[in-house]
Chains A and B, each alone.
Chain A
């Protein structure tokens, strides 16, 4: 049932930015920093979504996922690989034996401008190929035109097509214009069956930002208080440094708290973040600033 969208909380952007600024002035040091870095690493959906991707490229990425930096002991692997549907089967094979998930984008990613039939077919294809998770996009045009029922129904249909696979719903916050819209879209997605709500495709600017993530985390909090159900959150795109990732974790810590501070309920959609975290971990251990040349670029 589409939720009542009339009494949703509204947001004042200046106030939100001030709250974000407080998160960003938290100073994370020594052991709590290492703890945070490892946690962030374990939450990464290592992503490649390029027109020029090939099977070999995906296989190399999968190896990196399982072996981030073998000279460092006691570090977690990433949470998942995120690829186009064409590579789900090979990725699943390459990751065999690990507990790293395969997430596939679907539903005419990134634009979502196609028919429902095509989107459902693509979803089912990816699931059949072995995808553990599906990252779908909402129809932003329909949303901005006010056709909320359409958006709701589409998500519900894709959720059904997912079967056992988890559904992440990408709101594409960079196209939603206002924080109030982000709240509205979050609400629709959660009630329609999303397991995760996700900020962006990473294909347009702006991608993930702390303000939209903040609104979405609060949406998740209110949803839990109403229904008792926990929804996960994934900011994607633009989180390229450990410093930024830690700021997101501070925000997660202070808004949703410990129950969400794990890969089952929070992911980072990122690629270069991995190596930055590894460099920071080595620096924490040795006290010496690192160079990217000493870390694999797959």
Chain B
């Protein structure tokens, strides 16, 4: 009897043919304008930029670039609309938001396809995760609109006013839902800027908002890049800023809004610790690693990008992880079998490749499965760095890509200390079948979201957000209302 540890023993032989999602039912315009005061209007300075399909690097559409003048128009529209919107009964406000939820559900497949085209994520994820979560988020907060009296014991909540919201490119529609739904439910009016590499689903959402009959000026969507964002952040008539994005930009926003009286919530970066104990359900823990770092190509602020494996099971876990990685399919985001799609932009790909170089220079042991990457477009193979430590840069800095840094640990106290040893504090994962150990860890880890025996789970009813440099404020659940109200 020969003991054969050769991984090729378990090679998958049956290849699934191309299974492209059909795209002939979707509608994308050649040119998109700004949505201000209830209609689509051309940008005042007449500038447009291209939005690209990152899996082919081909242009999809031209999108308006909002300058300060456009942002001002949007803010004024929001300010005017606030007078009547905030006075509407909660019941009626809620009905508009329920309509938005329903309309997203009805057009779900179209949204999913456009999300994958514009951003690069696999259709399986946009179809099964992003779009349903987005619709559910509107549904959840619609129900709050007429129940705010219960939300804050002994306090009467009031809307803040005009809210400026800036969202990232990793979950474009979902982030729009996370921002808009609670803001509207609590009676605020909004100026929202989607990320410049993924404006399309926000613009399709603008169509739905229009169809819902929501009064003009309540929601305004202005597309653009850094300058547009700066214009929103600095506008004197914006009463609150909600930002999700990189920690560096978040710090900048905190700095420039200091002393202005603007309310602020930030949801920034992370370097989540994913901890596997020897008494974990190992097979599911390995699956959890895959979900933690390769879901959405690792473009997740709460990604489990630092793996800690208890030394006694490390070899076993890493072997199983490599074996599982061999079955991941990297390819066309619109293929239903694709597990890992395209990297969102050339810029992000360069960032990731740069970090991989750094990791190699730092002496990390790299592993990538033998996968054929498509020719055109932005692609990165799922990557492991083994035998690294807390002092490696790739363990400290957020890479925002499918790159996992793996360390071993020996004791519970050791891993708690290492997991917490970071300026970030967004998420953590713990894998053990021992209940007391689980509760001990969840109590000691410094993170806003802790996943026990799971990872990257989101729900409209569950508050999400970070501690330390991962930001402040929560989105989802009862706690997600707080950022959008003020009290007398």
Which residues in A have some Cβ–Cβ distance to B below 8 Å?
9-12, 14-16, 18-19, 25-33, 35-36, 39, 218, 221, 224-229, 249-250, 253-259, 261
Q: B156 to nearest A CB, angstroms?
A: 41
Q: A180 to nearest B CB, angstroms?
A: 9
Q: Number of residue pairs across A and B with beta carbons under 8 Å?
A: 94
Identify B433's interface contact among A12, A26, A39, A229, CB under 8 A: A12
Residue B29, interface by CB 8 Å: no
What residue in chain B is nearest A258 (Cβ atoms)?
Answer: B13
Contact assessment for A15 and B337 in the assembled complex, using a CB-CB cutoff below 8 Å: no
Binds A, one of B51-59, B282-290, B462-470: B282-290
Contacts of A31 in B (CB 8 A): 17
Q: Which of B5, B14, B17, B128 neighbours the largest number of chain A CB atoms within 10 Å of its CB?
A: B14
The 10 closest A-B pairs by CB, nearest first: A258-B13, A15-B284, A27-B19, A27-B336, A257-B10, A12-B281, A32-B17, A12-B284, A254-B327, A228-B1
What residue in chain A is nearest B279 (Cβ atoms)?
Answer: A10
What residue in chain A is nearest B9 (Cβ atoms)?
Answer: A259
Q: A281 to nearest B CB, angstroms?
A: 16
Contact assessment for A29 and B281 in the assembled complex, using a CB-CB cutoff below 8 Å: no
Contacts of A25 in B (CB 8 A): 124, 128, 336
Residue B442, interface by CB 8 Å: no
Contacts of B291 in A (CB 8 A): 18
Residue B376, interface by CB 8 Å: no
Q: B437 to nearest A CB, angstroms?
A: 14
Identify B16's interface contact among A27, A39, A228, CB under 8 A: A27
Contact assessment for B18 and A227 in the assembled complex, using a CB-CB cutoff below 8 Å: no
Residue B436, interface by CB 8 Å: no
Identify B14's interface contact among A12, A15, A225, A249, CB under 8 A: A249
Contacts of B2 in A (CB 8 A): 228
Q: Which of B2, B9, B13, B18 neighbours the largest number of chain A CB atoms within 10 Å of its CB?
A: B9
Contacts of A258 in B (CB 8 A): 11-14
Q: A99 to nearest B CB, angstroms?
A: 23
Residue B3, interface by CB 8 Å: yes
A-B contact pairs, 27 of them (CB 8 A): A11-B281, A12-B453, A15-B287, A15-B454, A16-B283, A18-B287, A25-B128, A26-B16, A27-B336, A28-B19, A29-B17, A31-B17, A32-B15, A39-B14, A221-B10, A225-B4, A225-B5, A227-B1, A227-B3, A228-B3, A229-B1, A249-B14, A250-B16, A253-B13, A257-B11, A258-B12, A258-B13
Which residues in B have some Cβ–Cβ distance to A below 8 Å?
1-5, 9-19, 124, 128, 279, 281-285, 287-288, 291, 327, 336-337, 433, 453-454
Contact assessment for B9 and A32 in the assembled complex, using a CB-CB cutoff below 8 Å: no
Contact assessment for A254 and B12 in the assembled complex, using a CB-CB cutoff below 8 Å: yes
Identify A10's interface contact among B1, B3, B19, B281, CB under 8 A: B281
What residue in chain A is nearest B324 (Cβ atoms)?
Answer: A254
**How many Å lie between the Cα of A117 and that of B414 in the bound state?**
57
Contact assessment for B337 and A27 in the assembled complex, using a CB-CB cutoff below 8 Å: yes
Contact assessment for B9 and A224 in the assembled complex, using a CB-CB cutoff below 8 Å: yes
Assuming the contacts A15-B454, A30-B17, A218-B283, asked whether A257 and B12 have C-beta atoms less than 8 A apart, the reply is yes
Contacts of B11 in A (CB 8 A): 257-258
**How many Å lie between the Cα of A35 and that of B15 in the bound state?**
10
Given contacts A27-B16, A261-B13, 9 further A-B contacts (CB under 8 A): A11-B284, A26-B336, A28-B19, A29-B17, A35-B14, A229-B1, A255-B10, A258-B13, A259-B10
Assuming the contacts A29-B17, A249-B14, asked whether A15 and B281 have C-beta atoms less than 8 A apart, the reply is yes
Q: A223 to nearest B CB, angstroms?
A: 11
